[in-house]
Amino acid sequence: MKVLFVAGDSKPERWTQPIKALLPEAEVVTWDPNGDPVMADYAIVWRPPVELFAREPSLKAIFNLGAGVDGLMSLPELPPELTVVRLEDAGMSVQMAEHVVHQLLEISRNMQVYRAQQNQHQWQLQRPIKRSAWPIGVMGMGQIGTRVASTLASLDYQVNGWARSEHSLAGVTTFAGPDGLAPFLQASRVLVNTLPLTDDTRDLINYDLLSQLQPDSVIINVGRGEHLVEQDLLDALDEGQVARASLDVFRQEPLPADHPFWQHPNIIVTPHISARSLRESTLEQITAKIRAHAQGRAITGVVDRSRGY
């Protein structure tokens, strides 16, 4: 069995050595853009070059080093019959929950006011928040979304969840499908986006959607930059429909230095750090799935091409 590592890392041995230790029965090869075909059985990839699919026609499956596979799905060179496997959690869901809680408390509990007071040497208490005034809507109820929603519910916030299909989660009021989107939005003041990027979800967070949220709404986007229509958010902020936004993902990354998000007083920008896959957990998961697939056993995380995730 040959496993090809294709991730563009300047130090691929940081990945290939653990892969060899976890999968000793495999020959592990690093992608060489100028090399010859290696007739690999499996590939572990992150933003692979399109040449991969023509050069390695014997691939049985490719394993993505991340949960989001929108970049892969958009490649016209991706063979339609090739099995694509996404990363499941690998330490990302707890990081995402931490990030969302941090951003929520930063805004709801006026932490920026306390920092300003510190600069002025002022000791002045702000009123405690009423959690009932901060109903939260989590879009996307996969592993990450459910972890975020459950964490927020455990802090006694009113939490709503919305997804394409029906879900049930303790402590969370759930909505589903196109018919459930409007009542979900109307019940939410804080909107947390954890959706995968598909043709159906691209540009979903637009002016019309933002206008359906409760007044003085807050947007926390940890999904994909392409979910958000950027000018629509700026317009909603200027008009006061949206009070604050915390953005971790963007249409262009790194965010250009002249982008208006940087200087907007009501936008918090972070450089796509809300959740990062942990190498050890990631490789343990992927190598176990490669072994199982090679032995003819079923594996989880296989991407449904019709859904895009």
47 is catalytic: no
Residues 223 and 198 sit within 8 Å (Cβ to Cβ): no
Q: Is 33 helix (H, G, I), strand (E, B) or coil?
A: coil
- Does residue 43 contact residue 59 with C-beta atoms inside 8 Å? yes
Residues 6 or more apart in contact with residue 95 via CB below 8 angstroms: 274, 275, 276
Among residues 99, 189, 224, 244, the one annotated as catalytic is 224
What is the number of alpha carbons within 13 Å of residue 33 lying toward its C-beta? 6
Taking the CB of residue 228, how many other CB atoms lie within 10 A of it? 25
Q: Among 86, 44, 93, which Cα is nearest to 276's?
A: 93
Catalytic residue from among 109, 272, 291, 305? 272
The DSSP 8-state label assigned to residue 43 in this structure reads E
Specify whether 272 is catalytic. Answer: yes
Instruction: Annotate 133-199 with DSSP letters as a single string.
Output: G--EEEE--SHHHHHHHHHHHHTT--EEEEESS---BTTEEEEEHHHHHHHHHHT-SEEEE-PPP-T
Q: What's the rounded Cα separation, in Å, for the pair 168 and 141?
A: 9
Q: Which residues are catalytic?
A: 224, 272
